[in-house]
Amino acid sequence: MNGTAYFGGLIGRVANRIANARFTLDGKAYRLVPNDGNNTLHGGYRGFDKVIWTVEQHVAGSGSPFITFYYHSFDGEQGFPGDVDVHVTYQLSSPHVLSVRMNATAWGKATPVNLAHHAYWNLDGHGSGSVLGEEVRLFASRYTPVDAALIPTGRLAPVAGTPYDFRTPAAVGSRIGGLLSRGVNGYDINYVVDGGGLRPVAVVRDGASGRVMELWADQPGVQFYTANGLSGVRGKGGKVYGHYGALCLETQGFPDAVNRPSFPSQIVRPGKVYRHDMVFKFSF
């Protein structure tokens, strides 16, 4: 509950960063809880990954078992306006598919909503070491450059000719040197996913095990993170997770969109529903 790695967490009310922990909506200024320097990260100190969810429905033992969780986020929670009812459903289906469906309904006041699933992936097995050798393909021709505090500058820049270019499959570590030479200790950046609707976002392949993961989603962005902040974290079965010990592919709206009118809006009006669907397909 006190960790800051967000292992497997459902992130909200707004995933990623909000600059200076504040925004203005419908003429009213809102001050949030800062927990990342002066900024708000992943919903604040007590984001959705640190609250108690209710199991609303579950079906086991079928061909497509699923479980649905529910959480009511109250007006003013971590500084965000309005009440929000949130549901997330995890469902398994054949062959080797995990679907995650999230929705959130706003009540009373308009509010930003940007939910994300913060899973860490190491296809060679947890605690097996670095993912720098895993091959990644990202279906993204652009990314959102950031400042030193990881807040987007507002630009949408082409990945071509940069260390961020994974339009063709490449090992994670093959281009990371271009970041390290700039004083950036790994990937932690939002990509602009090509196309629209439910579409391919990423493919990850582990050569040692032969495992492949495909990610599909319907959001405009995906945060590619190479666990730069992990250092000697003890996990399942006593395994120790270190630097670059996993990667995250967090489909999402763009960071700090509530302060960037040029970015796709994350504002949900009272009675309206936010939706976010993703599908993970595994092969061996």
Which amino acids are annotated as binding site for beta-D-galactose, given as ranges? 16-17, 118-120, 188
Given 42, 117, 134, 250, which residue is catalytic?
250
Cα distances from 42 to residues 47, 102, 106, 169, 275, in angstroms, run: 6, 16, 18, 29, 18
- Can you spell out the DSSP letters for 154-172? S--EE-TTSTT--SS-EEG
Q: Is residue 58 among the annotated active site residues?
A: no
Tokens 């500058």, located at residue = 153
Please report the DSSP string for 68-100 in residue order.
EEEEEEPTTGGG--SEEEEEEEEEEETTTEEEE
Distances (CA, A) of 263 to 77, 149, 154, 163, 221: 24, 19, 8, 23, 11
Whether the link from the prior residue into 182 is cis, omega within 30° of 0, is no
Q: Which of 42, 77, 117, 118 is catalytic?
A: 118
Distance CA 106, CA 94 (A): 34
Dig out the tokens for 112 from the structure: 């930003």
CA-wise closest residue to 106 among 152, 68, 75: 75
Told to judge if 77 belongs to the known catalytic residues of this protein, a careful annotator would answer no
* Contact (CB, 8 A) for 31 and 134: no
Catalytic positions: 118, 250
